[in-house]
Amino acid sequence: MGPEEELPTLIAQKDHLNVLRYVRAHELREPNLVVTHGKILLESKTLGDAERLASLEQICIAACDIGDLDLAESCLDTIVNPSSKNKSSLVVTKESSRYRKLLALCLEAAGNYESAGAVYDILLQDNPSNAYAAKRKYCILAAQRGKEADAMKALDEYLSKHPGDLAAWNEMAEVCLSVSDFKGAAYCYEELVLGCPLDSNIHTKLGEAYCTAGGVENDKLARKHLAQAVQLDPNNLRAWFGLVAAAEGYLEEIERMSKNKREAEDQGVEVAKELIKFGGEKLVGIYKGTKMARIINAVLKESSESL
């Protein structure tokens, strides 16, 4: 029995060990599940060393996630002080960097940011390119109200040292979005697109960011990326909606332009109108026979009538 079994089956069978394994293997965020099954697992079986430590680590992180700090602390204790029942040859000391990462995480969860920061500083001293510690230092700043500017600076520094870290670019994009810096978010999503040029969802987010930033040039870029998104994945419903919205946004901007500038964009206007028709037809087709069909038809009819 391995991670091929489905999670609901494992839960129903009360196979606690494999529930934990499944969550780990699929990198799910299910802290309630982990804590519930983990508690029972720890009390019942005697596990192999590696399995026991991996489970303790997983349960500790899940406990931090749901705010059960007592459980988190007891897991930390058990990791360095195994009970006589689980006499093992694998000894974990407090100097272990994996243990220290867990300790710092628990300190963060308890709101003790200074001590957590101190642990990460030690880790960074030992290894200045420790990306995990640098990222957690940013997270500590991001968690505190009023420190948004410091957090952005920290993330910026991190990105200049680790420009290939796509997850960090994603985080930066979200931070930009939260302060309504749509051009900044677009810049970050551009970096993500460089890393994953065939990912339809990233093109969609990039297109949406450009569309929200507004302006004729941004609307053209928005169209381009949303069109790329639907080409990569014709089932990306979000991209289809985005494509119609971006093309309409472009046409609205054109309306507001002076006559001479408008002439230069003639071809763009033709393209936009075609996109609206094309996207509209696709959407009507997708929703045919569903409950939303009537309202989709109403909204898209409105768009094509205004062309």
Partner 1 sequence: MSTIQISVSALAETKMALHSAKHGFSNPIHGIIVGKSGSDGVVEIVDAVPVCHEVPTKPIVDMALRLVDAHLQQQGDNELTIIGWYTSNASTSDDETPNFSACRIASSMSDCCQEEGGDNFILVMVTTSGLLAAVSKDSDSSSALCRVFQKDARTKTFSSEVDSSLITQENDTSYIISKAMSKEMPIYDFVDHISNYGSDDWKNMDWIKNGSIKL
Residues interacting with partner 1, by CB under 8 A? 29, 143, 145, 174, 177-180, 182, 207-209, 211-212, 214, 235-238, 241-242, 244-246, 248-249, 286, 290-292, 294-296, 298-299, 302
What would the DSSP string read from start to end of 121-149?
Answer: HHHHHH-TT-HHHHHHHHHHHHHSTT-HH
Which residue's CB is nearer to partner 1, number 18 or number 218?
Answer: 218
Which residue's CB is nearer to partner 1, number 266 or number 302?
Answer: 302
Which residue's CB is nearer to partner 1, number 65 or number 73?
Answer: 65
**CB-side neighbour CA atoms (13 Å) of 56:** 26
Minimum distance between the CB of residue 27 and partner 1, rounded to whole angstroms? 15
Minimum distance between the CB of residue 9 and partner 1, rounded to whole angstroms? 17
Minimum distance between the CB of residue 299 and partner 1, rounded to whole angstroms? 5
Q: Does residue 207 contact residue 223 with C-beta atoms inside 8 Å? A: yes
Minimum distance between the CB of residue 178 and partner 1, rounded to whole angstroms? 5
Which residue's CB is nearer to partner 1, number 2 or number 289?
Answer: 289
Residues 155 and 136: their CA atoms lie apart, in Å, by 10
Which residue's CB is nearer to partner 1, number 79 or number 239?
Answer: 239
Compute the 3-state secondary structure of the chain and give helix, strand, coil in percent, each to the nearest 5: 75, 0, 25
Q: Does residue 55 contact residue 22 with C-beta atoms inside 8 Å? A: no
SS3 250: helix
Minimum distance between the CB of residue 274 and partner 1, rounded to whole angstroms? 18
Residues 84 and 246: their CA atoms lie apart, in Å, by 65
